Amino acid sequence: MVAMRDGVVRGIGLALALGYAALIAWLYVQQPQSAAEVTGGLSAAIGSYRVDPAAFDDGLQFFRRDQFAAARMAFERADPAHQDARVQFYIAYSYYRQGWGRFYQDDTLFAQGLEAVNRAIARAPGGRIRVDDPDLQMRSGEELKAELEAGLERDASDFNPASVLRPRK
């Protein structure tokens, strides 16, 4: 009887330890920044994570009216765990559009945009994200990422007067 109870305790302990170790390994790999990211990441891992569609629609409306800060707040509500590639793509795009300027780019906003687009690419199946939105000129993660990276680079083309004529995408 005692041996059987010992066996049960040892079995439960082993399962607990292995589960806890797996959770720790996952946390170290994912590096979540908030409790919402932890719970969202765990639910995404088991396929039960859902974006709030109402908040996402709100975000899209703000985005299309060029109210980027408000759009990002709504997108954050829609995807608090930063697990949805499409929402992260729109967040990155909002940073791009807000940071874009005819004479200079806002490096801080572009850097945040780059962070968001990297998240979007990481979350997308196979690392490939494509958003078919007619309002956007860049519809893939690669295009947006390249544009954000180009905006952060310093080179001779920054002094080309013709760059003033380039359009915002």
Partner 1 sequence: MTAAREAIALPLVFLTVTLLGGLRIADGVALLPPSLFALVLSVLLLGLLVRCGALAPNRLVHASRSFLANVNGLVVMLSAFLASAQAFNVATPESGAPRVLFNLVYLVLLANTIAASPDRARVLRSLLVIFGSAFIVKFIVLSALSHPAEGTVTRALQVLFEGVTLGSVTQDVFHPATGYIAFGTLMLYLFGLVLLPAADRGGLKPAATYRTSLNTNREGNELEE
Q: Which residues bind partner 1 (CB under 8 A)?
A: 6-7, 9-14, 16-18, 20-21, 24, 27-28, 31-34
The DSSP annotation for 10-58 comes to HHHHHHHHHHHHHHHHHHHHH---SHHHHHHHHHHHTT-----HHHHHH
Q: How far is the CB of 146 from partner 1 (least distance, A)?
A: 26
Q: Among residues 32 and 97, whose Cβ is nearest to partner 1?
A: 32
Q: How far is the CB of 26 from partner 1 (least distance, A)?
A: 10
Q: How far is the CB of 3 from partner 1 (least distance, A)?
A: 9
Separation of alpha carbons 108 and 96, rounded Å: 10
Report residue 109 as tokens: 């906003």
Q: Among residues 13 and 127, whose Cβ is nearest to partner 1?
A: 13
Report residue 59 as tokens: 């975000």
Report residue 104 as tokens: 């200079």
Q: Where are the beta strands (DSSP E) in 23-158?
A: none
Q: Among residues 20 and 104, whose Cβ is nearest to partner 1?
A: 20
Q: Among residues 31 and 48, whose Cβ is nearest to partner 1?
A: 31
Q: How far is the CB of 64 from partner 1 (least distance, A)?
A: 30
